[in-house]
Amino acid sequence: MIDDPPLIKLKRTTQRPTKAQLTALRGTPTGFVVDAMDGRGALAHTIKPVIPDQSDFCGVAVTCHAGPADNLAVLAALPKLHPDDVLVCGTDAFMETAVVGDLVLQMAKNRGAVALVTDGCVRDTPGIRDVGLPCFAAGVTPNSPAKNGPGTVNMTVSLGSVPIAAGDILVGDVDGVVVVPFAMIDQVIARLEDVRAKEAEMLSAVNGGMGVPGHIDDLYDSGRVEEID
């Protein structure tokens, strides 16, 4: 037999990126950020903006984990939000009830949050549009949760196969959400210069009429393509 857990387990001290680091990543397409991390880092394709034209954001993760059909952890995370933060709610992909609606989203915005991201569901789509805060979720349902706990705040959560720690930077756009781990922020910023340069070079070539990448021409000339009649 184990003891009943606390209603909320809270990590008090968290790391935080600088304003300069956030500025360096703000406005960067998610595809560029992924390329700067060797092609990985995006959340599952199922986590998409509820309102597609309200999708662009860049902010610092404040994490919580909510149990099935419960959102006490989300509410407990609200006091920990600061300007430029992203409220991240892990639910283990529980889809039977929403974890937030428009009112909680407005509270997060009032605290300075720039987005909410969850692998669960949300509700009140018209109100979410009115709030105007980017909201990414795996689905929408009108079913509502209880507020009983237990849950965690500012501890590492996993949304699918991607871990997110408090203090990581999240970048979102209409394609999805990318997680930049705190320890990789400077490395990603440095790599983005090369990513942007290569993207601009390729864009110029494609707009100039290129129909086949050069390395594919080289492949055909290499003798390593077997042609079969």
pLDDT over 90 at 2, yes or no: no
Alpha helices, H only, 61-101 = 72-77
Separation of alpha carbons 118 and 137, rounded Å? 5
The whole-number average pLDDT for the span 186-198 is 97
Q: Can you say how many angstroms the Cα of residue 18 is from the centroid of all Cα atoms in its chain?
A: 19
- Is residue 103 classed as helix, strand or coil in its secondary structure? helix
Across 111-122, average pLDDT: 98
In this prediction, residue 107 carries a pLDDT of 98
Please state whether the predicted TM-score (pTM) of the whole model is above 0.85.
yes
- Domain range list for the chain: 8-194
Q: Above pLDDT 70, what percent of the chain? A: 100
In the prediction, which pLDDT does 178 show? 98
Question: Can you tell me the mean pLDDT for 53-66?
Answer: 98
Report whether pLDDT(1) > 90. Answer: no
Q: 162 has which bridge partners?
A: 159
Which band of pLDDT confidence, cut at 50, 70 and 90, is reported for residue 3?
confident
Q: Of 4 and 64, which is predicted with more confidence?
A: 64
Do the Cβ atoms of 106 and 78 come closer than 8 Å? no
Mean pLDDT on 75-86: 98
Whether CATH 3.50.30.40 fits 8-194: yes
Residue 163 to residue 214: CA distance in whole angstroms: 37
pLDDT at residue 58 is higher than 80: yes
Residue 135, SS3? Answer: strand
149, two tokens: 């706990």
Measured distance CA(88)–CA(110) in Å, rounded: 16
Per-residue pLDDT of 123-151, as tens digits, reads 999 999 999 999 999 999 999 999 999 99
What does the pLDDT average to over 85-93? 98
The β-bridge relationship of strands 139-140 and 121-122 is parallel
